[in-house]
Amino acid sequence: MAPPIVLSWSGDSIQVAFDSSDTVTAGFQALPDFFNPSAVLFRFVLDGQAEVQQIAVPYGLTTWSKAGLTYGRHSLTITRLNEAVYGPVSLTNISLSPSGRFVEPSLQPSLSSGRRILFLGDSITSGWGANGNSSCGSFQLGNANLLD
């Protein structure tokens, strides 16, 4: 994998495809000299199955991992869900079991036109309040989800 990829904004994502691996692991690390982030929400979609996980991101390395995969082709998309105020996080690596290899990801049908729309905005555009009882509630990590 290339040098660390910085995931700062809600909606930042990366997609990889791989085969011949029964395990995939992603490493995350907070960038120094910023806020002292305690956690960031990420959505992991592995072979179409989504799960949202809070990744504690102290200044050390934190990992997310899935084991017991079949030895076929797999696709993994990692998307940051919450706002930049929680601090930038670098995706330091994605590793596979020794027999695994990365392959070219398939283009999602929704992206095949080559057209994109970029939404610029504030907390509401970032999904603030999508998971909480009220968008006017307390400023908590679990209240924001860009994809809901």
* pLDDT tens digits, 113-140: 777 777 766 666 666 666 665 555 555 6
User: Rounded to whole angstroms, what are the CA distances from 12 to 9, 46, 69, 99?
Assistant: 6, 17, 26, 29
Domain residue ranges in the chain? 5-104
Q: What is the pLDDT of residues 25-50, one digit of tens each?
A: 999 887 765 555 567 889 999 999 99
Inter-residue contact 29 to 114 (CB < 8 Å): no
What is 5-104's CATH number? 2.60.120.260
This prediction has a pTM of: 0.80
